[in-house]
Amino acid sequence: MATMIRKQIYLEPAQNAQLKRISQEVGVPEAELIRQAIDMHLRSLHQLKPDPSVWKAERAFIEQLIAMGPVNGGRRWTRDELYDR
């Protein structure tokens, strides 16, 4: 087993009750559930990390559209028609 570092945390009463209930249901120590929750949260943060190159490409695309100017003939719909859909 890897070396563990002891941490003290504070939970709200409802969190504590849920943690105890889940621990008993699945037969896993509360500390293990907390470690798993931290791992899941850290993975989700990594997956949500924005990629600046995507936004740069999107901005370049929008700037190209703007540079093309208005569409010939104008638009053939009104804003109110969009809400009727």
Instruction: Give, for all 85 residues of the chain, the pLDDT tens digit.
Output: 689 999 999 999 999 999 999 999 999 999 999 999 999 999 888 776 778 899 899 999 999 999 988 878 877 888 888 887 6
Residue 26 counted as domain residue: yes
Q: Give the count of alpha carbons within 13 A of 32, CB side only.
A: 8
Tally the domains of the chain: 1
Residue 77 counted as domain residue: no
Tokens of 52: 């600046």
DSSP one-letter string for 3-40: PP--------HHHHHHHHHHHHHHT--HHHHHHHHHHH
For residue 44, the enclosing domain spans 13-68
Residue 75 counted as domain residue: no
Output the pTM of the full model: 0.55
